[in-house]
Amino acid sequence: MPIAFDRSFRAPHGDAMQLSPSVRRVLANNPGPFTFMGTGVYILGADEVAVIDPGPLLPQHLEALKRALADVHVTHILITHTHADHSPAARAVKEWTGAPVYAFGPHPAHGDDSVRVEEGGDRDFVPDVRVRDGDVITGGGWTIDCLHTPGHTSNHMCYALRQERALFTGDHVMGWSTTVVSPPDGDMADYIASLKKLMARHDRILYPTHGGPVENPAPFLAAYLDHRLEREAQIVDCLQRGVKTVPDMVAALYADVDQRLHPAAARSVEAHLIKLMREGRVQRGGVAYRLIA
């Protein structure tokens, strides 16, 4: 099933755009191969608001956030996960507003950050309030349900706005592309389980941090899951054909993908292989993998 990506998404950087009665978005000017047109910062509510993923530490972006928040009272700052295109500006927004920062937890410490392939980790991040799956956050006329969705990162959290049956998906589900799952913190088994968790919710609309809204979530999420299962089947097929290393699998499976994304593709292939090894279906020897008969 093809994924109905919308790569036509365009929005002015820095302007607060009203998306629904309770949701505005400010798009940061940090486009790139992993951020698409930039980081979408969501502002929920009218007079008393929550800010989801304030974004990167860019002076122009911080000024845009100041303008967007000038006439409202910020009561909550919510972080989906601690990549550097999502959480660093939370410190500035907290300084301006005094609002506490909510997140599942700090950046996972894995020592060597060189294995990360995206925008890097915000290793200085520490939330004021650590939320858990099932927690409820209430504010001025809005209610948020917290959904822990590990996979892209171990500390990834989605936030559901009850009043509009809207789900803010961070990088777990994106509007323009599939999501990178990068070991050691990214976990493919967790990612697939989290996808199934969202599929069971029946939200009306998804608001990813990168790309436009997903207005028909059910088939989109089903296609997202099918894509992961199909990729796993392709990796198994590679092994059956004697393609045994991650670089050779990437060359075979991502031949039509921008080569700038091949390092990220390699991490996702590795994540699939780790899942298959845990399931007892694949064995590794050095840099080569093989199926277990």
Task: Identify whether 93 is part of a domain.
Answer: yes
Tell me what pLDDT residue 44 has: 98
Same domain? 113 vs 27: yes
Same domain? 258 vs 174: no
Task: Identify whether 9 is part of a domain.
Answer: no
CA 133 to chain centre: 16
- The stretch 244-273 carries a mean pLDDT of 93
- Dig out the tokens for 226 from the structure: 């099918």
> 9, 212 in Cβ contact below 8 A?
yes
Residue 113 pLDDT exceeds 50: no
Residue 115 pLDDT exceeds 50: no
| Burial of residue 77 (number of CB atoms within 10 Å: 0-12, 13-18, 19+) | buried
pLDDT confidence band for 261 (50 / 70 / 90): confident
Tell me what pLDDT residue 259 has: 86
Same domain? 176 vs 283: no
Residue 293 pLDDT exceeds 80: no
Residue 144 pLDDT exceeds 90: yes
pLDDT confidence band for 105 (50 / 70 / 90): confident
Least-confidence region, from 113-117, 149-153, 181-185: 113-117
Tell me what pLDDT residue 118 has: 57
CA distance 97 to 92: 9
Same domain? 145 vs 235: no
Share of the chain above pLDDT 90, in %: 87
CATH of the domain at 103: 3.60.15.10
pLDDT confidence band for 114 (50 / 70 / 90): very low
CATH of the domain at 259: 1.10.10
pLDDT confidence band for 112 (50 / 70 / 90): very low
Same domain? 77 vs 151: yes
For helices 262-278 and 246-253, what crossing angle results, to 10°? 120
pLDDT digit string, tens, across residues 29-75: 999 988 999 999 999 999 999 999 999 999 999 999 999 999 999 99
Same domain? 60 vs 38: yes
CA angle at 37 for the pair 200 and 211, rounded to the nearest 5°: 15
Residue 266 pLDDT exceeds 70: yes
- The stretch 109-116 carries a mean pLDDT of 48
Task: Identify whether 5 is part of a domain.
Answer: no
From residue 183, give the alpha-carbon distance in Å to each of 63, 258, 263.
35, 21, 12
Q: What pTM was computed for the model?
A: 0.94
Pick the last residue of a domain from 227, 242, 271. 227
SS (H, E, C) 126-168: CCCEECCCCCEEECCCCEEEEEECCCCCCCCEEEEEHHHCEEE
